[in-house]
Amino acid sequence: MTEMARNRRWKRFIDPQSEKALIVPLDHGLTMGPIRGINRPEEMLSWVNTEAVTGVVLHKGIAERIGGQLNCGLIIHLNGSINTDEQPDLKQLVTTVEAAVRLGADAVSVQTNFSAITASHNLRLVGHVVDEAHAWGMPVLNMVYDKSINGSENLASIRHFMRAAVELGVDALKVAAPKDFQQIPEMLDGIQSHTPVLFAGGTLANERALIELAAATVEHNAGGICVGRNVFQRTNPTATLTQLQSVFRDDMLSETGFARSLTMRQREPELAL
């Protein structure tokens, strides 16, 4: 019975036309403070309710302030750390699934930065959260990052951490895409067919890099993207979101139409967002 509930809730994060998720994490304030783009919670509402956004990730305090005015799915982030901590990758639970349910959440999320120091902590955390969330019929998004030595260059390593999360029952994954997009099929192999994989936007990059990430998401049939700073730290977040939605939806026409659309975007000068 809880599987049906989890599937129904997760569908709220999927655009029915493109069948992709376009989720905007807005939980950075706990880790980084009031950085540019999310300094005033009320300003987020001026752009976050665009049709392109299928969901947002918030900590409970900001959710109490703006969650009731959102027109998209709501994910409550359950753990975190401050970046000045001695071990910032060791993220602690800061709320509960029950609290997320009381806030009207459609899903919950946890971030796990894997290293030799954090691995056992992360496994206990994910196992606990999944059991608690599934008892409420709530899907779990696990943000998985490889912080081990040479982790960013080791596809086998991140695949191991992704598989560990799947073994513990998570409902969706957020990971950094490999630098070489041709490695995406190997990264997704044996996972995307049953557990949606969303690609992280990462630190602020140029517009073209973001569009290419969205295009690769479509080309390799990933679940979508989960992009924060590459949206809210631009002058016009709505324009960026609309472009991303267009990349996702244009591919529904045909492979030829998509290739033509992407080529045109690559030739255009980068927008001054």
Pairing between β-strand 79-80 and β-strand 92-93 as defined by DSSP bridges: antiparallel
For residues 71 and 101, the answer to whether their CB atoms sit within 8 Å is no
CA atoms within 13 Å, Cβ hemisphere of 156: 1
Among candidate residues 89, 106, 145, 250, the one labeled active-site is: 145
CA atoms within 13 Å, Cβ hemisphere of 55: 28
* 116/121 Cα distance (integer angstroms): 10
Among candidate residues 27, 171, 250, 251, the one labeled active-site is: 27
Using left for φ > 0, alpha for ψ between -120 and 50, and beta otherwise, residue 118 falls in alpha
146 catalytically annotated: no
- The angle at the Cα of 155, spanning 251 to 82, to the nearest 5 degrees, equals 90
* 117/94 Cα distance (integer angstroms): 20
Among candidate residues 91, 106, 174, 250, the one labeled active-site is: 174
145 catalytically annotated: yes
251 catalytically annotated: no
Catalytic (active-site) positions: 27, 145, 174
